[in-house]
Chains A and B, each alone.
Chain A
């Protein structure tokens, strides 16, 4: 295996092991854990090596089948995609420890199917990150979606209905994206992103270009659940099996945001997307509403997992707004927030998975006094909550700081106000839970007080990734400087 192929093996190894898991995991269940963990660890190591090479030697351009672009499919690993690859493999590996436990409990007998879909989803996400071909992106988008439909529908009760709504909305999104690509193809005759970026500004076809951009962006917005196209997300993510939630919730929306950044920067060039002032203004106002809507809806929820899904909607608003601020600070903040939000969401969902594993429910009532039963889990949850609020030196603070700076630079005070307001709402939100978890048993009377005395911590398989993620929140927060200087500043285009 020559080193030039390494970044492809990052996604091929999980794919191949998915086939093995499916074939042999049905009869020998003890094979599943080593295969999943082994392939995901290989992915992580490979991604780190690739990132080192990209940072030292510059962007890798790879042509599948040795056909020169635009005739063949090109894969590009620039510093941003290398960073995203590392992020995806870290999250997938950490989530898989917890999933292995919770799937054993929730879906006995179906582990092989679950982890086949899980590994293919990870492979699809890696593929999405590296591809530089507009149509290939559609195929991979559908791979990640189909696996997610399956994973969500494996849940109990309402999960099937939520999954069906997700299928309908997801297909509309993918079809809109495909229509946009079709329009681009008619205009330019090519599907390679860099080639499109080269040809598109030379064309004299403003109406068709605008339509194509609009459809591609709306398609991606549906996939990332940007307000008001978010309706499928809360049900789908909160009713999925816990093991699926820990992987899907941190990654799917963030990778789609990354794709939007990628499409805007390398396929359409910012000059074409940000031409109309009223469009950017409209998107930023929508993003501000999304942030406020997500935060307010989160306040009204009675279930912790459902509350977190509304926070995801608010976070999508942060990132889309940050990109459409169209200045260096906004873009930096948005890209940094992709990384941070993936880790914060992972931390919170891992904590939720641990609680569900022990007591089966995360409704707010059942969280009373949980601090005494599961101290380590709740300590990590608190750290995740602090990062979500944006307390320094956790990572959540730095990306929010950049976003606020970007809002001030661009004179978009509505965005700044929404950001600050949502941070305040998050304070209320999380401190209510932490208070409930710590003091809740005192107010509730004898029944719960008795239960709270027993320490009943989650198994180590779920605790270790949780603790590692909580530590990572600080590590990433403290390494914001190098991250911004070495990686993110490279992708900010010159005109910003």
Chain B
């Protein structure tokens, strides 16, 4: 049991992201309202962004912006700076998330024009008539 608690404490960042991800994932597949599904999608993506950024953390590290002249003189210790790669990846993933949200919102507007509602079961009812 103690080993388990120690494991959780050492990796609590993963527990946080998994809980967030589960909230988002449940909203995406379990909710009936299309806007709630979209919100779930955003939570899901945010959880993944948190996950990646948390992997870039290094104990004793600061933001990866170095002093130019010190670096050119070769005096940089990599242990003092966080890992820049996850940040780069997540900048890209954030943009992708924004884009998908934008397209999804426009599709929702079309759906609302078409059926007058955003509840999935009401739409399906109208379709089956």
Contact = CB atoms under 8 A, between A and B. Distances in A.
A157 interface: yes
A182 B34 contact: no
Contacts of A135: 89, 92
Interface stretch (A25-33, A171-179, A406-414): A171-179
Nearest to A181: B89
Interface in B81-114: 85-86, 89, 92-93, 96, 99-100, 103-104, 106-108, 110-111, 114
A164 B104 contact: yes
Contacts of B106: 153
Nearest to A174: B96
A160 B107 contact: yes
Interface residues of A, number: 27
Nearest to B124: A161
A149 B28 contact: no
Contact of B51 (A145, A172, A174, A179): A179
Interface stretch (B1-9, B40-48, B62-70, B71-79): B40-48
A79 B68 CA distance: 44
Nearest to A171: B41
A179 B107 contact: no
A182 B107 contact: no
Contacts of B96: 139, 142, 174
A45 B52 CA distance: 40
Contacts of B37: 168
Contacts, number: 72
A178 B96 CA distance: 12
Contacts of A149: 100, 103-104, 107
A158 interface: yes
A160 B96 CA distance: 20
B45 A175 contact: yes
Contact of B114 (A157, A167, A174, A186): A157
B23 interface: no
Contact of A167 (B52, B85, B93, B104): B104
Interface string B21-55: 00001001100001001000100110010011001
Contact of A142 (B100, B123, B127): B100
A116 interface: no
Contact of B48 (A153, A163, A168, A175): A175
Given A157-B114, A168-B37, A168-B41, A150 B103 contact: yes
Contacts of A146: 99-100, 103
A158 B127 contact: yes
A163 B107 contact: yes
A146 B103 CA distance: 8
A160 B104 CA distance: 10
A185 interface: yes
A138 B90 CA distance: 12
A186 B108 CA distance: 37
A172 B100 contact: no
Contacts of A167: 41, 100, 103-104, 107
Nearest to B47: A175
Contacts of B89: 135
16 contacts: A138-B93, A139-B92, A146-B99, A146-B103, A149-B103, A167-B103, A168-B41, A171-B28, A171-B45, A174-B96, A175-B45, A175-B48, A178-B93, A182-B48, A185-B85, A185-B86
